[in-house]
Amino acid sequence: MIKLLFDFIQFLNTVAPLLMALGVLTLLSVLLSKSIKRHAAVYYAVFSIPFALVAIPFVLRLFGIEMFNFNRIPFLGAILRDYIHAGTLGFPLLIIIMYMGALNPKNPYVKKLLSIRKELSILSGFPILTHALIRVTHNFPNALRFFTDNTEYMENARVVNVWGAGISNFSFVLGVLMLALFIPLWITSFDGVRKRMGSVRWKKWQRWSYVLYAMLFVHSLGIQTGGMLNPREERRTPPPAVAGTATAADAAHNRNNRGNAELRQRAGRDERRQSPSFANINVNPQARRYVHIASLFLIFGSYLYLRLGKARRERVRRT
């Protein structure tokens, strides 16, 4: 039963990573709300470490200085990749912050989240800025070339669908505009900046967060749609060896390896037949993109429904 549960969690993390990350981070935020509130500076420091480990080597590399690649460290490398990808930490944190404004503030769990909304906003900035630092540098110049010199772009790019390329590159350009909007919103989350602005001015500026949420939906949807229209090419298998170059011993060794591989595959198939589980379900990349797109519509559609319903109730109470 426990193995089945772990297999199911792993299956969800593979097929619907955004929903899985959103659920885990929401649970952790509720459970650690008091700790985050009391020791906010510690959490800021911890979250800033992966950002520094990505940003410092990246900036030094621009000046021709090579540093050790921290991605090679097993556990740390996974965290750094999650920071760069943003779908595991940055994006889900923004969704949690977004949902707080649409949920009932009297709910005890929502109260816990609202008590650390400012802290979560600051924490989200570290993976988001890490993601932007890498993705903007690598994708934006080429994406801009699609619109400024389309002929050259299409001659050099490995794409099969012009519409897909246009959607993807529009999403990359939109990501830069999102970054330009996110940075001021993130900076104004700090207490010192907020006090200098004043509550009235700060609240007016924070309304731009709704524009950021809409751009976030379009950006994510565009990347997934563009990827579906232009799927990545699968790695080609190496060409067969030239006849006559392999010795008889090499040929015998290869036959033994193939025989052992077939035995292992047969044993694996027998084991899977005996103990079926979610781990045996194979979902292709295109199907995962469909699931991701459905997750985006589910998340942002339900938020819009809840937010409009809350605004309608508040309007009725005022009248």
Q: pLDDT truncated to tens, each residue of the chain (319 aa)? A: 676 666 667 777 777 888 999 999 999 999 999 999 999 999 999 999 999 999 998 888 888 888 878 888 888 888 888 888 888 899 999 999 999 989 989 999 999 999 999 999 999 999 999 999 888 888 888 898 889 888 888 888 778 888 888 999 999 999 999 999 999 999 999 988 888 888 888 888 888 999 999 999 999 999 999 988 887 644 334 444 444 444 444 454 455 555 555 555 565 555 444 455 655 667 777 888 898 999 999 999 999 999 999 989 888 888 7
pLDDT in tens, 272-306: 444 556 556 677 778 888 989 999 999 999 999 99
Exposure string over 283-317, b if 16+ CB within 10 A, otherwise e: eeeeebbebbeebbeebbeebeeebeeeeeeeeee
Q: Report which residue type is found at 284.
A: N
Rounded to 5 degrees, what are φ and ψ at 105?
A: -65, -15
User: What pLDDT is recorded for position 278?
Assistant: 54
Which residue, among 160, 2, 14, 157, has the nearest Cα to 87 in the 3D structure? 14
On whether the CB atoms of residues 83 and 131 are closer than 8 A, the answer is yes
pLDDT in tens, 226-285: 988 887 644 334 444 444 444 444 454 455 555 555 555 565 555 444 455 655 667 777
Q: What is the mean pLDDT of the chain?
A: 83
User: What pLDDT is recorded for position 14?
Assistant: 79
Its pTM stands at 0.81
The domain locations on the chain are 2-232+275-318
Q: Please give the full DSSP string across 240-277, using - where no structure is assigned.
A: PPPTT-S-HHHHHHHHHHHHHHHHHHHHHHHHHHHS--
Range 156-162, long-range pairs (CB < 8 A, 24+ positions): 158/233, 159/230, 160/229, 160/230, 161/229, 161/230
